[in-house]
């Protein structure tokens, strides 16, 4: 059967019309599916029984089965592990910021676009495991909806726009622009007023530098935020930390990001994981400042979340602060990302790797769905 989330809102309306139902039933169905905690078609109580039966006969309600959830930061950070139909595992993270400066509450979901990753950054657990496959559009959409439903069942509020989350970041497992078809399709779904209805300024797509796809995202992505995983301002070091750099070096990546800013008018964020003694020296901070000054750019320094057995360590707080000040001295805005979920192995790919190794117990999805 087809996943229901593979249908666009326009296709849902066409299906409802073909089923001989009035147009308002499509809007009811969309609200139930995208904005309620319902876990099945049967639970959509205001729809006629016959329509619910037909939906269940023709569509899969979700492509994912939740099999584990970890909590940290007093319950404000939750990491979900889902099993796909073919048995593969993926991760999504939900982060609550109840006293965020820009609003009364901010809830961000970090979602995945691939099972594994082909970029193979040596400090990333996902990359170390290699690429298994791209995710389908429905699988990308469903992971956000599963998190939304779980959060509604937990009694979390409804952010602006009536959705369950206020922000989405494509920063989970995989390189989003290596799966640009599903990434773009899911962005359009999440920002569709009939689906989640998020504003494009609340959606961020991260890339390690797939230059041709950055241009496509600029033309077709509606003006979402772009984040570039830079991690080094010079080619020699970036070749080691981000092997994709050997295909598209720093200058080409930054030029593509400049093009994104020209088309969309949006500032580009440059992500920079701080690795002790590797990329955190004063000279590299100065290189980074020279690279990005006079550009519509912002640097986001990320304290490294260590992976067991990995040789890398996070830079000290004092070193990160000194690095930030040197970048700012060049006239480039620079902040340090809030660290979340260290006690639940929230670095990308860690929980999946532990589950595959058998060191994390997978509980029945019914228990996860009930909030147990």
- Between strands 77-84 and 89-97, the pairing is antiparallel
Give residue 261's region: left, alpha or beta (phi > 0; psi -120 to 50): alpha
269: CB partners within 8 A, 6+ apart: 204, 225, 226, 227, 228, 297, 298, 299, 300
27 assigned to active site: no
Q: CB-hemisphere CA count at 13 Å for 193? A: 0
Tokens 């069942």, residue located: 153
| Start-to-end Cα distance in the chain | 29
* Radius of gyration of the chain measured on its C-alpha atoms: 21
Q: What is the DSSP letter of 360?
A: S
Whether 110 sits among the annotated catalytic residues: the reply is no
Per-residue H/E/C for 57-103: HHEECCCEEEEEEEEECCCCEEEEEEEECCCCEEEEEEEEECCCCCC
Contact 89, 355 (CB under 8 A): yes
Which one of 91, 139, 151, 271 is the catalytic residue? 91
Q: Of 94, 124, 148, 348, which is the active-site residue? A: 348
| Tokens representing residue 311 in the block | 């040789």
List the catalytic residues. Answer: 91, 348
């Amino acid at each position: 059967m087809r996943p229901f989330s593979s249908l666009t809102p326009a296709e849902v309306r066409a299906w409802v019309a073909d089923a001989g139902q009035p147009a308002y039933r499509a809007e009811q169905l969309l609200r139930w599916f995208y904005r309620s905690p319902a876990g099945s078609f049967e639970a959509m109580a205001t729809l006629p029984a016959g329509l619910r039966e037909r939906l269940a006969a023709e569509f899969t309600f979700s492509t994912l089965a939740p099999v584990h959830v970890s909590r940290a930061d007093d319950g404000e950070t939750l990491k979900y592990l889902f099993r796909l139909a073919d048995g593969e595992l993926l991760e999504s993270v939900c982060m609550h910021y109840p006293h965020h400066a820009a609003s009364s509450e901010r809830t961000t979901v970090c979602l995945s676009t691939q099972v594994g990753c082909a970029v193979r950054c040596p400090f990333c657990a996902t990359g170390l495991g290699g690429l298994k496959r791209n995710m389908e559009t429905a699988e990308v959409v469903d992971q956000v909806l599963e998190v939304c439903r779980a959060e509604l069942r937990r009694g979390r509020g409804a952010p602006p726009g009536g959705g369950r989350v206020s922000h989405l970041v494509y920063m989970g497992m995989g390189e989003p622009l290596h799966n640009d078809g599903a990434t773009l399709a899911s962005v359009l779904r999440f920002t569709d007023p009939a689906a989640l209805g998020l504003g494009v300024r609340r959606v961020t797509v991260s890339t390690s530098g797939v230059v041709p796809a950055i241009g496509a995202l600029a033309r077709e992505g509606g003006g979402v935020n772009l984040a570039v995983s830079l991690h080094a301002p010079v080619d020699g070091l970036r070749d080691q930390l981000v092997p994709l750099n050997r295909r598209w070096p720093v200058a080409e990546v930054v030029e593509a990001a400049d093009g994104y800013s020209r088309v969309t008018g949006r500032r580009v964020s440059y992500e920079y994981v701080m690795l002790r003694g590797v990329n955190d020296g004063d000279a590299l901070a100065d290189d980074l400042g020279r690279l990005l000054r006079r550009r519509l750019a912002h640097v986001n320094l990320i304290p490294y979340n260590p992976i067991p057995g990995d040789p890398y360590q996070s830079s000290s707080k004092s070193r990160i602060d000194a690095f930030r000040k040197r970048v700012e001295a060049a006239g480039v805005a620079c902040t340090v990302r809030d660290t979340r979920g260290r006690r639940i192995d929230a670095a990308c790919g860690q929980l999946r790797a532990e589950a595959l190794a058998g060191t994390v117990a997978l509980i029945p999805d019914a228990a996860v769905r009930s909030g147990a």
